[in-house]
Structure 1
Amino acid sequence: MPKRVVFEGVKRSEELNLANIGHDTATYIISVMQIRMKDDGSVEKIDRPDSGQNFADRNFRFFPHTVTLAPNEVQAVKVQLIKSSELATGEYRSHLYFRAIRNSDPLGEKELQKDSGISVKLVPVFGMSIPVIIRVGENTSKVSFSDISFHLEKETDPVLKITFNRTGNMSVYGDVQIDHISLQGKVTRVGTIKGVAIYTPNALRHLQFELYKINGIDYHTGTLQITYNSSNDTKLSEAEINLN
């Protein structure tokens, strides 16, 4: 925590709390990786920036690079902005990757029995990345919705599809909330998705998800109100779809 770092204004440093929630001592290796976001929200690792994309790794540093934590232990990782005066107006983004290296002999693990001279042992490797974003200058980004559609899969599962359209010079990030408004005016929260990002240089992101099945909600009537709010509750975009 937190799950993203944004340097803008006078902010020059951030502390991340890294916690080991496992049952064994683990070593975490922290590195920098570059990521491209696709229109469906999935990501892939890249080595060179796309057109309109700027990497941030030359303008921040972090320490330590390796952390060993006992179960339930927490340590702070400090991220500092550097050489910011060299940056032109715009947004710069790279990702910190936290990879857990498990203890070679975890507690409570039984020795494998070998009956043919060959054994296979699968050990999961856990890792996660968080964006480090540097913003310079005025943020001109805006978001709108298009291609909103709703249908009932198998006649019972409510599914909503939305296309996010981003314009401007910086990424957007926020939470999506969907409310059902009945013909009588009753408002019921039927969907929430936290942490929806559209990174530069992407102009689009397609989102599809199931709404809640709630007794008394008739998805054949009324309206769905869709709101996209930033982390500080600023409304980025909103729209309504008529279900009648």
Structure 2
Amino acid sequence: MLFDQLAYRKTIGFVQAASLALVAAGGALLATPAHAAGDLLVAPTRVVLDGRRGTEVILNNIGDEETTYRISLELRRMMPDGSLEDVAVEDANETEKASLSLIRYAPRRVTLPPDQPQSIRIGLNQVEGLKDGEYRVHMLFRAIPKAPTLVTDPAANNEIKIQLTPLYGITIPVIIRRGDLKATAAIANPRIVDAPGGKALEFDAVRQGNRSVYGDVRVRKDGKGEPLFEAKGIAIYPEIGQRKVSLPLKPEDIAELRGAVTVGYYETLENGGGLIGEVRTVLP
């Protein structure tokens, strides 16, 4: 399942779960919850700027050791299956190259003691002749590895080995919108399919317009107020008009979803929670 609000990049290591209520200040149009990868917590997980003001992203080191993080910008392109593919600068199109020139941010490197928050300020550059449209970069926060530790193994005749420290990186999309941009989306062909590790609810999400669409998916049965199933943070970026969405199901979800249901795609609560599109179907 793709969660746009957080496109995790795993290098090596483990995940440590955590939670923290943080809200980005400034001109961000969205204030999504914080998410952790490794020992780093980032909030918000998605930033949308309208070209008038900048904003902040808050980092917090939730580990036990002081860690230095490097902040950089990347280009990523959404594929029809919903995955995000890295794009080298030399392979970038005109819109992607312009996106890199729009963003300025500071600092680009921070050293954080445990439980120490740090704000990263994000601003916009004025680019002459910039066309109306949606521009996007992905901001990467990654720990700088410390020198490897040398240890001896008594079971191997005191042979010296290098002990590597597991590290993670985390990315969030930074979206800039210029001009009067609109988009609509529809859901088609919902089905339950075989997936790695079990079953998944799969459907096609179709977008029209000149900006991305982002929201939550809820599946309901007539007469029941609460959703039977919900998935947050589903995006369709402007570079594609249609993508496949695949949402893993628990065994107990499958039995409840069978029969007549309504699959709805809604704006996030921060954006009003309005209905983007829905479809009624019968899931076998």
TM over 0.5: yes
CA contact (8 A) 1:35 1:94 kept: yes
Q: Does 1:142 align with 2:184?
A: yes
Aligned equivalents of 1:198, 1:52: Cα separation in 2: 17
Residues of 2 paired with 1:186 and 1:180: CA distance? Answer: 6
Figure out how many residues of one structure are paired with residues of the other and give that number.
Answer: 233
* Equivalent residue, structure 2, for 1:208: 246
Aligned to 2:121: 78
TM-score (norm 2): 0.72
Q: 1:52–1:200: 8 Å Cα contact kept in structure 2?
A: no
Between the aligned partners of 2:85 and 2:258, the Cα distance in structure 1 is: 39
Question: Cα deviation per residue 1:106-137 (whole Å; 9 max; x = unaligned)?
Answer: xxx89342736463534322101111111111
Name the aligned partner's letter for residue 4 of structure 1: R
Aligned partner letter, 1:148: P
For 2:193 and 2:277, how far apart are their aligned partners in 1? 22
When structure 1 is superposed on structure 2, of 124-133 and 22-31 the one drifting more is 124-133
Contact 2:228 2:257 in 1 (8 A): no
What's the offset of the Cα at 1:50? 4.6
Q: Secondary structure at the match of 1:111?
A: strand
* Residue 7 of structure 1, CA deviation: 1.1
Correspondent of 1:119 among 152, 161, 167? 161
Decide which of 170, 175, 189 is 2:227's aligned counterpart: 189
For residues 76 and 112 of structure 1, do their structure 2 counterparts lie closer, same or farther at Cα, with a shift above 3 Å needed? farther
TM-score by length of structure 1 reads 0.83
State the alpha-carbon separation in 2 of the partners of residues 126 and 73 from structure 1: 18
How is 1:1-244 mapped onto 2 (pairs within 5 angstroms)?
1-8=43-50, 10=52, 12-47=53-88, 48-50=91-93, 55-83=98-126, 86-104=129-147, 111-113=151-153, 115=156, 117=159, 119-150=161-192, 159-181=200-222, 185-214=223-252, 218-221=256-259, 223-231=260-268, 232=271, 233-243=273-283
**Displacement of 1:241:** 1.3
Question: Conserved in 1, the CA contact under 8 Å of 2:59 and 2:118?
Answer: yes
- How far, CA to CA, are the matches of 2:111 and 2:57 in structure 1? 15
Structure exhibiting the larger radius of gyration computed from Cα positions: 1
In 2, Cα distance between the equivalents of 1:192 and 1:93?
27
Structure 1 stretch displaced more, 82-91 or 24-33: 82-91
CA, structure 1 residues 186+140, in 2 after alignment: closer, same or farther (shift >3 Å)? closer
Where structure 1 has 5 or more consecutive residues not aligned to the other structure, the ranges are none
Preserved contact between residue 56 and residue 119 of structure 2 (Cα < 8 Å): yes
